[in-house]
Structure 1
Amino acid sequence: MTRSGLLGISLIAMGALGTACHAADAPLATRLPPPAAAEAPATTHRATAVFAGGCFWGVQSVFQHIRGVTATRAGYDGGTKDTAEYETVSGGDTGHAESVAVEYDPTQVGYGTLMQIFFSVALDPTQVNRQFPDVGSQYRSALFTRTPEQATAARAYIRQLNAAHVFARPIATQIVPDHGFYPAEEYHQNFAARHPEDSYIATYDAPRIEALKMVYGAQYRDDPILTLAAPGGP
């Protein structure tokens, strides 16, 4: 897996140029319509959803800055436990996608809002097996659904966005039942927060947080919710 330091165009600059809406090499810097289907009233303060959208560093960083999110974990989903290891997944043939498990309080933020933000600022959902400079099936976009309700909501929202032609191409994000999420190594957790000076983070991930703050100010929180190290971790 390569974390390239190639120069990119910031979302803010793209927005000023009026070209952010359907850029192939950066997430959106515009607010997508919310899901049309209403969510059932929350009956719990704890739910989990799994999102895959390229390198998990940036995806985790986006969700860490959303109000109502209580915990995140970068990891691997779509393959088996015995192959859920960074170097193995990087070969591209394990079935895993770099993913982020997002724990949230449904009384504060719904699954629909998380999807709305994900598709708006976290990735280009029309790309297949790639995001930014990273190429391979491990960088595909997917919603690994934990409940039938999540699966129904995800299918309906993607149909809605495709019907509205908010992207220049059809959404390629997969909707897959989650059969096992495996946390990544501790050095991957909170990577963007711990290494803001890293060239990859500065080029590809920091602009997503700028876009989140600009477009979803009501949902944005300044201090990220950081993942706690596992027992024995650094």
Structure 2
Amino acid sequence: MDTVDFAEAPFETIRERFRDFAQDLNFESITAIPLSALRGDNISSRSPHTPWYSGPTLTGFLETVDVSHTEMGHRLVFPVQWVNRPNASFRGFSGTVAQGFVKVGDDIRVTASGQTAKVAEIVTMDGQLQQASSGNAITLRLNKEIDASRGDVLSLTEKPLEMTDQFEATLIWMDQEAGLVGRSYELKLATQWANASITNIKYRVDVNTMLHEAVPKLSLNDICICTLATSKPL
């Protein structure tokens, strides 16, 4: 905002142009904040240079954004970070709930093997919980031994996750070396690793017009819709 002398008119023009541009992007809401990183205007405290603005500061807005995904209908996704065995009498699976929720008594399934067990305890650094949800770092102790290790993903038995070795994904290419169809790459999904190859580049998204363009490869900063094949089901 310092480059336009904190004038309201340029800010309103940019805001309206972006709202028009983003109509097809399916944002739940758009909040525009007049900022100056040079002077810290409206970053953490309201700026005296923008008396015409009555909205939140940047940090104030970020503190109110709901980043949790704990809706009851969401499937549990719990990637195992490590097997926690501090002594011979305790064995649990530690990680962060990526999606959904889990509670004591739930039937849990190892996605890859199909083995099942019941949640006996949910343990955290601050004590035990009866229920954990998206974003919680926890250790699950089960009522019996199952074969699971780092990279495995746990879900609810009644809402199992699907696995596949071929899928479509949006790739944002951030390497100077081009991404090529058929070349093998390393893919990391939560705590899992696999080899993956691009089998088809459907199109590139032009970020200025949102039009779809046919391209033979992925270049630096390209956003492309691609199909991938992995060395094992994920």
TM-score, L = length of structure 1: 0.22
Give the structure with higher Rg (CA): 2
Which of the pair has the greater relative contact order for Cα pairs under 8 Å at 6+ separation?
Answer: 1
TM-score, L = length of structure 2: 0.22
Larger fraction in helix: 1
